[in-house]
């Protein structure tokens, strides 16, 4: 699919910093780097940022938004804070917001009723779609970087990826691609009112993911499928709160139920190029020392 031609950076953007909430996380840190590479001023929204930004402390919001016209919003899962934050953005003169959401927000039965991320994303998307700002929403599949920087990293290090995912597959998307789409939506015209569903170019089973990482790193990583109840009991025995363990199992369940293997075309639509393959992510992460002992 051809990409619609879009105009590039505007002069005003070099004057006004773009606020990147979650700017130290998997997609946010890459949005920060890619914006800086374009010569755009960036403010990192993080509890360790300057000024600090804390979702749970509204007294920090205004300083983070000072002089800002464009914001990348990575929500705070489990709380309904995107709505008041977007409202504050309207009040202080922000003009454009790009929201990171999640796959399945609009699919009945994708997430469980009590899913912390699900509730946050459904309310956050509604707040953004009904606000007065220019908006774009990105809905990514599971991030490939969960294996190197996120939920699955400890398991990969231990050599056993123990998950209740059955023999299901996910079309993991590279956080570099998520960031590239967000940067396009933040810096170009032509993305307003769009919802980009993002995935990688193919579905990868957990067993295939483990094998690819094994091959690239030379260390043995194997996938161990677990029953959801055993997975939850194991996490609780490790000290996890029951509700968090259930939430984790719930987040993985769409993979087991075959709801995460489809391919989404948002990277191609927004950037005019295909998404990066999972094996490229593994090769690059391994070369960068992504899985130290
Ligand atoms: N990971 C996936 O596969 C995936 C897939 C689809 C959607 N999502 C969505 O992506 C979003 C990010 O999730 P993630 O797990 O990938 O995390 P992440 O973006 O890698 O990291 C979380 C970020 O949130 C910031 N943060 C945490 N607590 C904060 C607070 N109280 N105030 C301000 N910032 C805070 C952290 O910054 P500091 O610690 O520096 O403050 C960090 O930058 C979530 O909404 C999730 O539902 C994730």
Identify whether 5 is part of a domain. no
Identify whether 292 is part of a domain. no
Query: Phi-psi region for residue 39, left (φ > 0), alpha (ψ -120 to 50) or beta?
Result: left
For the chain, give the mean pLDDT: 94
β-bridge partners, 73 = 99
Distance 5 CA to ligand 1 centre (A): 31
The more confidently predicted of residues 6 and 279 is 279
Per-residue pLDDT tens digits for 222-269: 999 999 999 999 999 999 999 999 999 999 999 999 999 999 999 999
Please name the residue whose Cα sits nearest to atom 18 of ligand 1.
25
Q: What pLDDT is recorded for position 293?
A: 63
- Spell out which residues line ligand 1, taking CB within 6 angstroms: 22, 24-28, 46-48, 53-56, 74-77, 100, 102, 117, 140, 142-143, 146, 150
Distance 138 CA to ligand 1 centre (A): 14
Treating both helix axes as pointing N-terminal to C-terminal, what angle do 28-37 and 175-187 enclose, rounded to 10 degrees? 50
Q: What pLDDT is recorded for position 171?
A: 98
Identify whether 285 is part of a domain. no
Looking at the chain, list the stretches that DSSP marks H as alpha helix, in order from N- to C-terminal side. Answer: 28-37, 61-65, 82-92, 116-129, 153-158, 175-187, 206-217, 228-237, 242-256, 266-271, 278-287
- By CB atoms closer than 10 A (0-12, 13-18, 19+), residue 259 is middle
Looking at 103-174, list the stretches that DSSP marks H as alpha helix, in order from N- to C-terminal side. Answer: 116-129, 153-158
Identify whether 147 is part of a domain. yes
Identify whether 289 is part of a domain. no
The number of distinct structural domains making up the chain is 1
Identify whether 283 is part of a domain. no
pLDDT band, very low/low/confident/very high, at 14 (cuts 50, 70, 90): low
Identify whether 218 is part of a domain. yes
Do 67 and 19 meet the contact criterion of CB atoms below 8 Å apart? Answer: no
Q: Which domain holds residue 244?
A: 14-278
Identify whether 72 is part of a domain. yes
Per-residue pLDDT tens digits for 88-135: 999 999 999 999 999 999 998 898 878 888 899 999 999 999 999 999
What CATH number corresponds to the domain at position 166? 3.40.50.720
With a cut of 70, say whether residue 221 has pLDDT above it.
yes
């Amino acid at each position: 699919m051809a990409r619609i031609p879009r105009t590039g950076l505007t002069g005003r953007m070099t004057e006004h910093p773009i606020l990147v909430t979650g700017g130290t996380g998997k997609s946010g840190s890459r949005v920060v780097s890619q914006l800086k590479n374009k010569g755009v001023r960036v403010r990192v929204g993080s509890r360790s940022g300057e000024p600090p930004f804390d979702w749970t402390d509204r007294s920090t919001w205004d300083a983070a938004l000072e002089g800002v016209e464009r914001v990348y919003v990575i929500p705070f899962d489990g709380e309904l804070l995107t709505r008041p934050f977007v409202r504050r953005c309207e009040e202080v003169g922000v003009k454009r917001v790009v929201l990171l959401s999640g796959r399945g927000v609009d699919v009945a039965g994708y997430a469980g009723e009590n899913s912390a991320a699900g509730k946050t994303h459904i309310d956050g998307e509604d707040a953004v779609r009904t606000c007065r700002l220019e908006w774009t929403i990105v809905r990514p599949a599971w991030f490939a970087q969960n294996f190197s920087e996120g939920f699955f990293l400890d398991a990969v290090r231990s050599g056993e990826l123990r998950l209740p995912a059955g023999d299901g597959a996910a079309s993991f998307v590279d956080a570099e691609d998520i960031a590239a789409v967000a940067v396009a939506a933040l810096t170009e015209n032509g993305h307003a009112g769009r919802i980009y569903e993002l995935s990688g170019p193919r579905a990868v089973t957990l067993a295939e993911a483990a094998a690819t990482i094994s091959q690239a790193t030379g260390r043995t990583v194997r996938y161990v499928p677990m029953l959801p109840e055993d997975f939850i009991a194991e996490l609780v025995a490790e000290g996890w709160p029951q509700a968090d363990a259930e939430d984790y199992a719930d987040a993985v369940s769409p993979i087991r139920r075959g709801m995460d293997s489809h391919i989404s075309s948002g990277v191609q639509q927004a950037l005019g190029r295909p998404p990066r393959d999972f094996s490229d992510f593994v090769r690059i992460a391994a070369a960068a020392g992504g899985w130290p002992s």
